[in-house]
Amino acid sequence: MARKKIEKMAYSSGAEMMFGTAKHPVKTSRGIHIGGGFVHPEVVPHPRAGSEKTKKTLLREYERANGDALERMVIVGHPTLIVENEHVFQMTHNPTWGGEIAAQTARQMDDCLDKYGLKAAYRSTPADLRKPDMHHMRESDYTHEIIESFKQVSKYADIISIESMGGKEIFDHAIIRNDITGILFGIGVLGAIDMEWMWDQIVDIAKSNNCIPGGDTNCSEANTAMFMAGGMVSKDVPHVMAALARAISASRTLVAYECGATGPTKDCAYEDPIIKAMSGVPISTEGKISACAHSDLAGNLIAAVCDVWSNEAVEYHDMFGATTTSVFAEILGYDCAMFNSAIELGYQEQMKEILVNSDMYRDSHSLILAPDNAWEIGNAIIGNRGDSNYASGRAGAIKAGQIILGDSKMKLTQLEKKALENAMKDLEGLPDSEGDFIQMCLDKYKNVKGFNPDSYGL
């Protein structure tokens, strides 16, 4: 499907956005209305090391892991569940493996619906096996395997998604050097180009199989920056640099929805509140319940405008209470019951305010994801969308920096403040023309290991 740029905000303000409701809700095959008035849980089981050695053992592992989560929702009385399987290498490298696991899970969900009335949906997320510094992004065998994997899983899955890798070779070079120019080039330009190429195909495949094209995430870059920035005592990467990378990532991730993706978005895209403000698609987010996989500094705030609430990933093991997938599905279900009770009782505004204020000033990254600020960043991106990928990504980063510097309650260390001021100076000094910027970057980064402009049609 040809890309159609979004040049008008879906929402009039951050205040208009609310958890459980999206401008453009979607409905799954077993009747879950996502963004239609309630929040739904999404659990992400991950197989144990060694189970991937054969198709038989991997099928059995997912049968148990996914089945345990479904069974627990029936036991505790939660009415809906989305199960996502993020492919391990073998599931995408051997596309029929992922397809058979999708078919198996669909049968389990049909059985739960028939026996217990549980409405469940399956999201399949093929792995982006392409490593930009090692493979041609458009012509490698891995690229063909990814496309074939989508064709296989979309026959049975309700939703398909991916965590695409475009631009990572430049981003990895830039982030350890506090090089905002390289971050903008890697995420905002190369990432956007690669996404358009990839998502045109994904959407067509999804439509041909009556499957929902969910969304993408800048996990490989903006999340890397967030994790490198770390917590309160970490100094490997300035937190403000990670926040700017996140703002740029919203411009890049929006491309999926301009190409026809409908949401629910990919849970690990922390840029999703900005995506919702711009596009109106239902979003899946993760926060405190993803502590089993990683830490963040926005564990409550990130739920403020979610439509699906996720746990990132949990490896399948036994716990005292049950298996991990059972336990985390139950935890997510109870959180969603709380969100939905707030909606039914008319307390959703108060709940949203509590979620936002619990984390808003914990970190500059948290600050820019608060709904009002997410809307402002989205508005800056959309205001420059007609110009170019570069212009909109740059505008988003500048707006994020202005928000951080302009809020007196956001306390920055001298190191953080200096890093942000330097980055803002660099951003403002960049050329206005995308063509000039790309040529500048092609010259500047021509010796970065593995960077091949031809992978991006440049």
Per-residue pLDDT for 375 more than 80? yes
Please give the sequence-ordered ranges of beta strands (E in DSSP) within 192-349, or none if there are none.
212-213, 284-286, 308-310, 314-315
Q: Is 114 helix (H, G, I), strand (E, B) or coil?
A: helix
Per-residue pLDDT for 385 more than 80? yes
Per-residue pLDDT for 1 more than 80? no
pLDDT digits (tens, 9 = 90+) for 242-286: 999 999 999 999 999 999 999 999 999 999 999 999 999 999 999
Burial of 354 (0-12, 13-18, 19+ CB in 10 A): middle
Confidence of residue 133 (pLDDT cuts 50, 70, 90): confident
Q: Which of 161, 150, 393, 365 shows the shortest CA–CA distance to 270?
A: 365
Please give the sequence-ordered ranges of beta strands (E in DSSP) within 270-380, or none if there are none.
284-286, 308-310, 314-315
Q: Is 119 helix (H, G, I), strand (E, B) or coil?
A: strand
Q: Is 378 helix (H, G, I), strand (E, B) or coil?
A: helix
Per-residue pLDDT for 108 more than 90? yes
Residue 21 CB: number of other CB atoms within 10 A?
18
Q: Is 196 part of any domain?
A: yes
Distance CA 397, CA 184 (A): 9
Q: Is 402 part of any domain?
A: yes
- The answer to whether the bond into 371 is cis (omega within 30° of 0) is no
Residue type, 115: K
Contact by Cβ (8 Å): 332, 308: no
Residue type, 435: G
Q: Is 1 part of any domain?
A: no
Confidence of residue 353 (pLDDT cuts 50, 70, 90): very high
Q: How much is the pLDDT for 134?
A: 87
Beta strand pairing call for 159-160 and 212-213? parallel
Report the CATH number at residue 208. Answer: 3.20.20
Q: Is 7 part of any domain?
A: no
Which whole number is the average pLDDT over 175-188?
Answer: 98
CA distances from 311 to 90, 244, 324 (A): 23, 24, 11
Q: Is 394 part of any domain?
A: yes
Q: Is 6 part of any domain?
A: no
Q: How much is the pLDDT for 103?
A: 99
pLDDT digits (tens, 9 = 90+) for 200-225: 999 999 999 999 999 999 999 999 99
Q: Is 407 part of any domain?
A: yes
Percent of the chain exceeding pLDDT 70 equals: 100
Assign residue 41 a region (left: φ > 0; alpha: ψ between -120 and 50; beta: otherwise): beta
Tell me which residue range forms the domain holding 219: 14-453
Q: Is 361 helix (H, G, I), strand (E, B) or coil?
A: coil
Q: How much is the pLDDT for 175?
A: 98
Q: How much is the pLDDT for 424?
A: 99
What's the domain count of the chain?
Answer: 1
Q: Which of 274, 441, 303, 283 shows the shortest CA–CA distance to 373?
A: 274
Q: Is 440 part of any domain?
A: yes
Confidence of residue 235 (pLDDT cuts 50, 70, 90): confident
